[in-house]
Amino acid sequence: MEKDPGPMEMRFAELIWENEPIQSGALVALAAERLGWKKSTTYTMLRRLCERGIFQNENAVVSARLTREQYAARQSEDFVASTFHGSLPRFVAAFTSRNRLSEKDIDELQRLIDESRRNAH
Protein backbone atom coordinates (compact mmCIF):
# COMPACT_ATOMS: atom_id res chain seq x y z
CA MET A 1 0.00 0.00 0.00
CA GLU A 2 1.27 3.46 -0.89
CA LYS A 3 1.98 6.00 1.82
CA ASP A 4 -1.02 8.19 2.64
CA PRO A 5 -0.77 11.86 1.75
CA GLY A 6 0.48 14.01 4.62
CA PRO A 7 -1.34 17.01 6.09
CA MET A 8 0.16 19.51 3.62
CA GLU A 9 -0.70 17.31 0.65
CA MET A 10 -4.26 17.04 1.95
CA ARG A 11 -4.51 20.84 2.36
CA PHE A 12 -3.34 21.10 -1.24
CA ALA A 13 -5.84 18.45 -2.34
CA GLU A 14 -8.64 20.41 -0.65
CA LEU A 15 -7.47 23.54 -2.49
CA ILE A 16 -7.72 21.69 -5.80
CA TRP A 17 -11.15 20.18 -5.02
CA GLU A 18 -12.45 23.66 -4.09
CA ASN A 19 -11.23 25.21 -7.37
CA GLU A 20 -11.20 22.50 -10.03
CA PRO A 21 -10.96 22.48 -12.91
CA ILE A 22 -8.12 24.96 -12.61
CA GLN A 23 -5.29 25.98 -14.93
CA SER A 24 -1.99 24.76 -13.49
CA GLY A 25 -0.57 28.32 -13.57
CA ALA A 26 -3.53 29.58 -11.55
CA LEU A 27 -3.02 26.68 -9.13
CA VAL A 28 0.63 27.71 -8.66
CA ALA A 29 -0.52 31.28 -7.83
CA LEU A 30 -3.22 30.00 -5.47
CA ALA A 31 -0.81 27.67 -3.67
CA ALA A 32 1.66 30.57 -3.29
CA GLU A 33 -1.08 32.77 -1.84
CA ARG A 34 -2.78 30.23 0.44
CA LEU A 35 0.09 27.88 1.36
CA GLY A 36 3.17 30.02 0.81
CA TRP A 37 4.56 27.51 -1.70
CA LYS A 38 7.01 28.02 -4.51
CA LYS A 39 6.19 26.82 -8.02
CA SER A 40 8.48 23.79 -7.66
CA THR A 41 6.79 22.71 -4.43
CA THR A 42 3.35 23.00 -6.02
CA TYR A 43 4.33 20.90 -9.02
CA THR A 44 6.04 18.28 -6.81
CA MET A 45 2.93 17.93 -4.67
CA LEU A 46 0.68 17.89 -7.74
CA ARG A 47 2.78 15.14 -9.33
CA ARG A 48 2.51 13.03 -6.15
CA LEU A 49 -1.26 13.40 -6.00
CA CYS A 50 -1.56 12.63 -9.71
CA GLU A 51 0.58 9.50 -9.27
CA ARG A 52 -1.84 8.38 -6.53
CA GLY A 53 -4.69 8.72 -9.02
CA ILE A 54 -6.46 11.48 -7.10
CA PHE A 55 -5.97 14.26 -9.68
CA GLN A 56 -4.91 14.64 -13.29
CA ASN A 57 -3.05 17.43 -15.07
CA GLU A 58 -3.97 17.37 -18.74
CA ASN A 59 -3.17 20.21 -21.11
CA ALA A 60 -2.22 22.38 -18.10
CA VAL A 61 -5.68 21.92 -16.53
CA VAL A 62 -5.85 20.21 -13.15
CA SER A 63 -9.00 18.27 -12.29
CA ALA A 64 -10.07 15.52 -9.93
CA ARG A 65 -10.04 11.87 -10.88
CA LEU A 66 -11.62 11.10 -7.50
CA THR A 67 -14.15 13.19 -5.60
CA ARG A 68 -13.53 13.90 -1.92
CA GLU A 69 -16.09 11.21 -1.13
CA GLN A 70 -14.47 8.64 -3.42
CA TYR A 71 -11.07 9.41 -1.91
CA ALA A 72 -12.44 9.06 1.64
CA ALA A 73 -14.07 5.74 0.70
CA ARG A 74 -10.77 4.47 -0.72
CA GLN A 75 -8.90 5.53 2.42
CA SER A 76 -11.52 3.82 4.61
CA GLU A 77 -11.31 0.61 2.58
CA ASP A 78 -7.50 0.65 2.83
CA PHE A 79 -7.68 1.21 6.60
CA VAL A 80 -10.12 -1.66 7.18
CA ALA A 81 -8.10 -3.91 4.89
CA SER A 82 -4.76 -3.20 6.57
CA THR A 83 -5.91 -2.91 10.18
CA PHE A 84 -8.78 -5.41 10.38
CA HIS A 85 -7.81 -7.83 7.58
CA GLY A 86 -10.69 -6.50 5.51
CA SER A 87 -13.33 -7.34 8.11
CA LEU A 88 -15.89 -4.59 8.48
CA PRO A 89 -17.54 -6.40 11.44
CA ARG A 90 -14.16 -6.43 13.26
CA PHE A 91 -13.83 -2.70 12.63
CA VAL A 92 -17.36 -2.00 13.94
CA ALA A 93 -16.71 -4.20 16.98
CA ALA A 94 -13.50 -2.32 17.75
CA PHE A 95 -15.19 1.04 17.25
CA THR A 96 -18.21 0.22 19.40
CA SER A 97 -16.05 -1.19 22.19
CA ARG A 98 -14.94 2.39 22.93
CA ASN A 99 -17.73 4.50 21.41
CA ARG A 100 -21.41 4.22 22.20
CA LEU A 101 -23.63 4.36 19.13
CA SER A 102 -26.62 6.65 19.25
CA GLU A 103 -30.04 5.43 18.16
CA LYS A 104 -29.61 7.60 15.06
CA ASP A 105 -26.26 5.88 14.27
CA ILE A 106 -27.82 2.44 14.75
CA ASP A 107 -30.75 3.35 12.50
CA GLU A 108 -28.40 4.65 9.81
CA LEU A 109 -26.23 1.53 9.97
CA GLN A 110 -29.33 -0.66 9.75
CA ARG A 111 -30.52 1.34 6.72
CA LEU A 112 -27.14 0.80 5.03
CA ILE A 113 -27.25 -2.93 5.79
CA ASP A 114 -30.81 -3.22 4.46
CA GLU A 115 -29.87 -1.30 1.32
CA SER A 116 -26.83 -3.52 0.81
CA ARG A 117 -28.99 -6.64 1.16
CA ARG A 118 -31.45 -5.33 -1.44
CA ASN A 119 -28.63 -4.51 -3.87
CA ALA A 120 -27.03 -7.94 -3.38
CA HIS A 121 -30.07 -9.75 -4.81
pLDDT digits (tens, 9 = 90+) for 78-87: 899 999 998 9
Give, in order, the Cα–Cα distances in Å from 9 to each of 31, 41, 50, 78, 80.
11, 11, 11, 18, 22
67: alpha, beta or left, given left = phi > 0 and alpha = psi -120 to 50? beta
Neighbour-count burial for 59-81, b at 16+ CB within 10 Å, e otherwise? eeebebebeeeebeeeeeeeebe
Q: Are 31 and 12 in contact (CB under 8 A)?
A: yes
pLDDT digits (tens, 9 = 90+) for 21-64: 999 999 999 999 999 999 999 999 999 999 999 999 999 999 99
Helix (H), strand (E) at residue 99: none
Give the model's pLDDT for residue 40.
97
Give the model's pLDDT for residue 68.
94
pLDDT at 1 over 50: no
